[in-house]
Amino acid sequence: MADPRRIAPELWPPAPELRTERLVLRAWREADRAPFADLNADPAVMEHFPSVLDRAASDAMVDRIVERWADGRPSLWAVEVPGEAAFIGFVGLLEPSFTAPFTPCIEVGWRLAAPFWGRGFAPEAAAAALGHGFDTYGPDEIVSFTVPANISSRRVMEKLGMGHDPADDFDHPNLPVGDPLRRHVLYRLPAAEWRDRGRGSAPSTAAVTDK
Ligand SMILES: CC(C)(COP(=O)(O)OP(=O)(O)OC[C@H]1O[C@@H](n2cnc3c(N)ncnc32)[C@H](O)[C@@H]1OP(=O)(O)O)[C@@H](O)C(=O)NCCC(=O)NCCS
């Protein structure tokens, strides 16, 4: 397995670059580590996670992201706003490592720095990531999940046209019984729905989050 710590950053494997109307989804750079550590240390960004991350944990996450690209597996892009910000966070695809009724599967996810929230960047980037994911890996569906209280993230799922059936809600096996973050809602996007809608179409804004 590739070890990104042993590979000079300029030789890190290139993630396929995706462009949207306002964004570039690109391979990670060494220079992304500092702003990524900043957003991972922000309690607002990490509100729905067990804890904020320190610099070492943030860097280790970058290493895992790069390693997955090196292994040819779904991974996360660094997101850039050309002309405005070289790095605002990540959007991309992951394979959950835990076992649940819906795994193995591909998950779409996002984490952006708070100053860039509210401009529709996450759904715009995620639509490109979904297109890449369906085209490249050919899954029957791509899922996303979060805690019920993470309305911002659920709104992104809804804007992407992902569907939520409460019967799919689950307890995250990596969190202990009694942990307030254990319960999760699952959203699904079947490949057929993605195809029917026409890939690349603008994300929907019509859905209303169920509570
Ligand atoms: C979830 C997240 C990626 C959304 O990104 P975004 O680019 O702001 O997405 P949108 O602009 O489409 O906004 C989505 C929702 O976020 C909420 N939101 C928007 N601006 C916000 C702000 N400044 N502060 C708090 N919430 C805000 C709104 O509920 C919005 O829904 P609406 O468009 O129906 O009003 C971003 O909030 C984030 O990084 N959160 C922290 C990390 C996280 O929780 N990741 C998901 C883990 S499952």
Express each pLDDT in 34-65 by its tens digit: 999 999 999 999 999 999 999 999 999 999 99
Q: What is the pLDDT of residues 93-145, one digit of tens each?
A: 999 999 999 999 999 999 999 999 999 999 999 999 999 999 999 999 999 99
- 52 against 205, higher pLDDT: 52
pLDDT for 5: 52
How far apart are the C-alpha atoms of 150 and 49, rounded to whole Å?
A: 10
Look up residue 14 and give its two tokens.
Answer: 């290139």
pLDDT for 197: 85
The CATH-assigned architecture of domain 16-196 is: 3-Layer(aba) Sandwich (3.40)
Choose the residue to mutate in 53, 152, 211 for probing ligand 1, maximizing ligand atoms within 8 Å of C-beta: 152
User: Ligand 1 within 6 A of 146 CB?
Assistant: yes
Q: What is the pLDDT of residues 61-85, one digit of tens each?
A: 999 999 999 888 999 999 999 999 9
Q: What atom of ligand 1 comes closest to residue 145's alpha carbon?
A: 48
How far apart are the C-alpha atoms of 187 and 156, rounded to whole Å?
A: 11
pLDDT for 7: 56
pLDDT for 9: 59
Q: Convert 141-163 to b/e letters by CB count within 10 Å (16 or more is b).
A: bbbbbbbbebebbbbbbbbbbbe
Q: Are 139 and 129 in contact (CB under 8 A)?
A: no
* Among 10-14, 46-50, 184-188, the least confident range: 10-14
Q: What atom of ligand 1 comes closest to residue 120's alpha carbon?
A: 11
Look up residue 74 and give its two tokens.
Answer: 């779904």
User: Ligand 1 within 6 A of 172 CB?
Assistant: no
pLDDT for 49: 95
Residue 127's SS3 state is helix
What's the whole-model pTM score? Answer: 0.92
Domain limits, the chain: 16-196
User: Ligand 1 within 6 A of 103 CB?
Assistant: no
How far apart are the C-alpha atoms of 2 and 198, rounded to whole Å?
A: 36
Choose the residue to mutate in 117, 145, 170 for probing ligand 1, maximizing ligand atoms within 8 Å of C-beta: 117
The yes-or-no verdict on residue 13 having pLDDT over 80 is: no
Q: What is the pLDDT of residues 109-123, one digit of tens each?
A: 999 999 999 999 999
Q: Are 78 and 32 in contact (CB under 8 A)?
A: yes
Determine the number of helices (DSSP H) and then strands (DSSP E) in the chain: 5, 9
**Cα 140 from chain centre:** 18
Q: Are 107 and 142 in contact (CB under 8 A)?
A: yes
pLDDT for 112: 99
The yes-or-no verdict on residue 209 having pLDDT over 50 is: no
Q: What atom of ligand 1 comes closest to residue 153's alpha carbon?
A: 1
198 falls in which pLDDT band (50, 70, 90)? confident
205 falls in which pLDDT band (50, 70, 90)? very low
